[in-house]
Amino acid sequence: MKITSFGLAAIAMALMADNAEAMPAVRNYKGVSPYKARYTVNPPVPVMKDPRSMSGARRMRLESNERLEETYLDELHYIPSEGQADSSSQFWSNVQQRLESAIDRLDKASSMLGMGNAMSPYRAASAVKSAAKSLGFSFSVNTNSAHGASPDFTFNFNVSEPMSWGEEAHLSAEAREDGMLDGKALPNLPADSGFDYKNEKVRGVNLGNWLLFEGWMDSSLMQALNDHAINAPWPNPIIDEWTAGLYSDKGWASYVLQKHFDEWMTDDDWQQIKAAGLNHVRIPVPYFMFAEAVGPNAPYLTLNRFAKLKEGVMKAKKLGLKVWIDLHSVPGSQNGFDNSGRSGPINWANNPAYFTQTQYAFNRLVKEFTLDDYAGTVTAIEAVNEPKANVVPAVQDLLNKYYPWARNRVAIPEGWNKYSNMLLAIHDGFQGLQYWQNFWTGRARHRVLLDTHPYFVYSDWQHQAKDTQRLQQACQLVDSFAKSQQYYPSIAGEWNVNGPNGDRMADRDLPVGPIKFPSLPGVTYPYSVKYMAFMARNFKTQQFIYEQGGGWIQWSWRNDNNPDWSYKTGLQYGWIPMDLDQQPYGANPCSCIPGLIQAAENGTAAESWVKAELAGHL
């Protein structure tokens, strides 16, 4: 694509200018002046429902034969249909619109920049080349132009094509034997990453609501943000990171969020994680932690998230903890959940620019965490969290391109001439573990960790089931994890131990033992003994299941609104053990499930059989 000098200058301006904020038309929130609105306290923020346990959530997340309604795809003009131009021409049409807009902005801004009415094409070229490189675009100059003439510039807006699915998969037998390729040493993955995922078990916890907030976990944070909302159409408009940027007083929101980053994870929290016998943390981060990746018209607040991430990783290193860095949020939203940064439409796969922004953020993570300072600590980077590939075909199509590209990017990071020891973690896209068995072959799959999120709190059936039935459903995954482990280290990267209805006595049909919750002076338990007994058994049962695969990373270390989701609270009150090797329900907790169901159905007469059965395992 040939671009004139004037158009090139416009591109430079468009790339280097600050992103415009998508502010709403309403300017008199609360019916008063913006100043007064800023200091008028909102009504109390209602407790946000846990999006993972709302009715119908399982249907939306897990059932692969469903399709989203059109309301989930409000950028359909990016998707070619029969009779339309292909995606490339659609994309270039969008580029043309961006250029026209940029030219108009340049015309208005040129005098302010002190450049007169034009910009030197060579200065523009330098500016564009620098900006393009930072965003992952390619840029070239035709040096054969006649002397004195404006050079021909070619600027490629298109996203990078994926490399081959795995250069390591196509090695000759000789190269495999001596571990070299063109003189480059091949890593012995996955052990060289810093953790042997094939032979050791991951036992970890997520640091949810830290560098990417989730309102249902922390109402005090949401109240603090909403108390200073401005330019909003109704009270308490802030429900996710998008609306926090859209409706916040920027100074106040920056203060509140940076204070939150400092206080949600303290040195004591890190020490407690280590003392609990855990070996991993998974840290969710948003793509907009990099200002260059935010893109136009997105109101996200970048702040000091990247600095806090690096600080956290170094604390993990000091304690000997391994780290997964999880790209939890990508532009356009990959799943429509609030934890993607923006709840609502799923547009990640609908705009090629979103993919480019994602690649940029992923590249920045790879570039930083393959530095020697982090070697052996950051073992994997997760390409994207919970993409809804099961219900949006375009998302799966994008994963087919993105995952191989990301695998090759961690294999040989940009600018490297040798292989790294970094691994790629991929989420199963709610397609199930077996879907991915042959996605990679040969040595190429040795660099990949497979992440799945088995929650048992979504469906109407689960809300109506008894505790014994929930355990039985979980135990059906034993063979799935064991089989998947033969292909990739397969890890439950998110899961929980709570019941879908909370502490509802109608759900309880298990014997209380063998873990006891004694009555202690000064100790007030947050839940009934029967509920805590269920969570204790649920924890050990799911631990057993996931360790038939590569292990587990529980969600989440801390949850101020819902303590039964909190690993930290579970340790405090005893439904999560400090000693992860103890076996109070036997070496195979699933083997007891049929007897537990029989006991529940037959009443106390069968309960003695269960106690005897448990005693035989102790």
Span 436-455, pLDDT tens digits: 999 998 888 999 999 999 99
Residues of the chain above pLDDT 70, percent: 69
User: What mean pLDDT is predicted for residues 252-274?
Assistant: 97
pLDDT at 53: 65
What is each CA distance from 269 to 263, 280, 367, 469, 565, in whole angstroms? Answer: 10, 14, 28, 34, 16
Q: Name the range with the highest mean pLDDT among 19-28, 245-254, 266-275, 597-606.
A: 266-275
Contact between 501 and 572 (Cβ < 8 Å):
no
Q: Let me know the angle formed at the C-alpha of 540 by 537 and 542, rounded to the nearest 5 degrees.
A: 105
pLDDT at 46: 78
Q: Is residue 610 part of a domain?
A: yes
What is each CA distance from 111 to 10, 114, 126, 127, 182, in whole angstroms? Answer: 14, 5, 20, 18, 54
* H helix or E strand, kind and range, residue 141: strand 138-142
Beta bridge partners of 326: 284, 382
List, as own/partner pairs, every contact residues 147-153 make where C-beta atoms lie below 8 angstroms and the sequence separation is at least 24, other chains included: 150/4, 150/5, 150/121, 151/121, 151/122, 151/125, 152/2, 153/2, 153/3, 153/5, 153/8, 153/121, 153/125, 153/128
pLDDT at 595: 81
Q: Give the total number of structural domains in the chain.
A: 2
Structure tokens at 529: 């003994």
d(C-alpha 12, C-alpha 126), whole Å: 9
Q: Write out pLDDT tens, residues 297-342.
A: 999 999 999 999 999 999 999 999 999 999 999 999 999 999 999 9
Residues 411-422, buried b or exposed e (16+ Cβ, 10 A)? bbbeeeeebbbb
Q: Is residue 515 part of a domain?
A: yes
What is each CA distance from 608 to 412, 510, 531, 540, 567, in whole angstroms? Answer: 60, 12, 20, 21, 32
SS3 label, residue 138:
strand
Binned at pLDDT 50, 70 and 90, residue 91 comes out as very low
User: What mean pLDDT is predicted for residues 187-216?
Assistant: 96
pLDDT at 600: 76
pLDDT at 340: 97
List, as own/partner pairs, every contact residues 123-132 make where C-beta atoms lie below 8 angstroms and the sequence separation is at least 24, other chains included: 124/5, 124/8, 124/9, 124/11, 124/12, 125/8, 125/151, 125/153, 127/12, 127/16, 128/8, 128/11, 128/12, 128/15, 128/153, 128/155, 131/12, 131/15, 131/16, 132/15
Q: Is residue 45 part of a domain?
A: yes
Q: Is residue 112 part of a domain?
A: yes
The distance of Cα 526 from the centroid of its chain, to the nearest Å, equals: 30
Q: Is residue 35 part of a domain?
A: yes
Q: Is residue 286 part of a domain?
A: no
Evaluate if residue 563 carries a pLDDT over 80: yes
* Other Cβ atoms closer than 10 A to 267: 9
d(C-alpha 311, C-alpha 270), whole Å: 12
Where is pLDDT greater, at 560 or 25?
Answer: 560
Q: Write out pLDDT tens, residues 125-144.
A: 554 444 444 333 444 444 44
Where is pLDDT greater, at 86 or 320?
Answer: 320
| Of 455, 55, 24, 38, the residue nearest 230 (C-alpha) | 38
Q: Is residue 94 part of a domain?
A: yes
Residue that finishes a domain, picked among 106, 139, 156: 156
Instruction: Please give the sequence-ordered ranges of beta strands (E in DSSP) within 489-608, or none if there are none.
Output: 490-492, 551-554
Range of 146's domain?
A: 2-69+78-156
SS3 label, residue 407:
helix
Residue that finishes a domain, picked among 156, 190, 210: 156
pLDDT at 180: 67
**Backbone angles phi and psi of 194, in degrees to 5:** 120, -10
Q: Is residue 533 part of a domain?
A: yes
Binned at pLDDT 50, 70 and 90, residue 151 comes out as very low
Structure tokens at 245: 């940027």
Where is pLDDT greater, at 18 or 576?
Answer: 576
**Cβ partners under 8 Å of residue 298, min gap 6:** 19, 22, 242, 245, 288, 331
Q: Write out pLDDT tens, residues 27-48.
A: 344 444 445 555 566 678 878 7
pLDDT at 4: 52
Residue that finishes a domain, picked among 156, 190, 213: 156
* Class of residue 560 by CB neighbours under 10 A (exposed 0-12, middle 13-18, buried 19+): middle
pLDDT at 262: 98
Contact between 283 and 210 (Cβ < 8 Å):
yes
Evaluate if residue 459 carries a pLDDT over 60: yes
The mean of the pLDDT values for the chain is 79
Q: Write out pLDDT tens, residues 483-513.
A: 999 999 999 999 999 999 999 999 999 988 8
pLDDT at 442: 83
Evaluate if residue 157 carries a pLDDT over 50: no
Where is pLDDT greater, at 29 or 585?
Answer: 585
